[in-house]
Each structure stands twice: as structure tokens, then as C-alpha cells.
Chains A and B, each alone.
Chain A
């Protein structure tokens, strides 16, 4: 089976712009989660989707949003980018999400200038 794929792998944006990141889960996985990884804060949970419904959201401002499509693919959007949004954004998928192994993609590295 193909693993979790994320596009793009690298992105450079300027402050105030918005960005959309994409994630395709492992075939058959219906839960998709997003995490932000930074040197200062480590790995932080953004949100989780299952069957197009957001089931949980981390402690991030409303500028961070996401959605899931009927084929389980997911996107996350960050509006009005700030310098502090520079990070590695990781997507993970699992069958149903609770207590299961989450399989991670390679991440999208976002640099905000």
C-alpha cells in the first residue's frame, strides 16, 4: 500500500498570505490528523477529521482550518500567515483514529518570510 502523501513538500510564503496544504491518507484509512512541528514547541496537534467531520481541534487560532473530502483526502489552510507559522506540518492517517497507530507523511515544510 502506498503511504501517506503530502503536497507540496516545501513552500515559501510571505506574511499576510494564505496557504493550503494537502494530504492523501493510506488507502482505507478514514481518520486524518494534522500536527505542527517546531523546534520551540515540538509536535502539537492541530485537528482530526473522520468521515468529513472534525472530531477534535487543538489549541490553535482560527486562522488554522481544515477539511476532509469524501475520499478521505484532507486539506489544511492557514490564513493571514505570521512568521511564527513557519514549521513542518505533518499529516497522519489511521483506520478510525482512537488509540490506533497513526502513520505519518513526510510533511510540508512551510517558511514564512
Chain B
């Protein structure tokens, strides 16, 4: 049972390049989330998907788009990367409101 799988683990982009971070969970969870983690700022919610077919903005959505491809997969896209998007990105999933979040291993993204 893999849990939450994120790819890639590391990525370096040039300013203006685009990329998609992939996330998949095999726990049949309903809700999926993308966070970014920056020193001293904790985890900030970028986008979330409460259920298959729905997506909503979180605290810091600017510069990102998401797709809930199916119940298992929730991708995060950077259309035109900026140095301010250098961060560690975590995907998480939750079964329902009375359960905890399960996290992927993270993607360390550097934009130069």
C-alpha cells in the first residue's frame, strides 16, 4: 500500500518554464490537497479538491492550476514558473472530515 505518491522528488526550473507535479493516492480518499512549505510559514494551502470533479482555491493559489483527474489523482501545474515559487510542495489526502491527512514525500522545486 503506497499511500500518497508524488513525482518528481526534485526539480529545477528556469523562470518562465512550465511543469506539472503529479500526485496519486491509493487509499480511496475523497479529498486531496496541495500545500507549499516555506521556512517560518508552515504549510500554506494552494488548492484543494473536496471530491472528484471539484477544485477550490486555498490561501495562495496565484500562479498555479490544478486538475482532479479522477478520484486517485490530483495534479498541480505551474504555467510560468517564478523564483517566488521555489518551495517544497506536499500533496495530501483525507478520507473524510473526521480523519487525518496523509502526506506524500514532497517535491523540492527550485526556480532559477
A and B assemble together: no
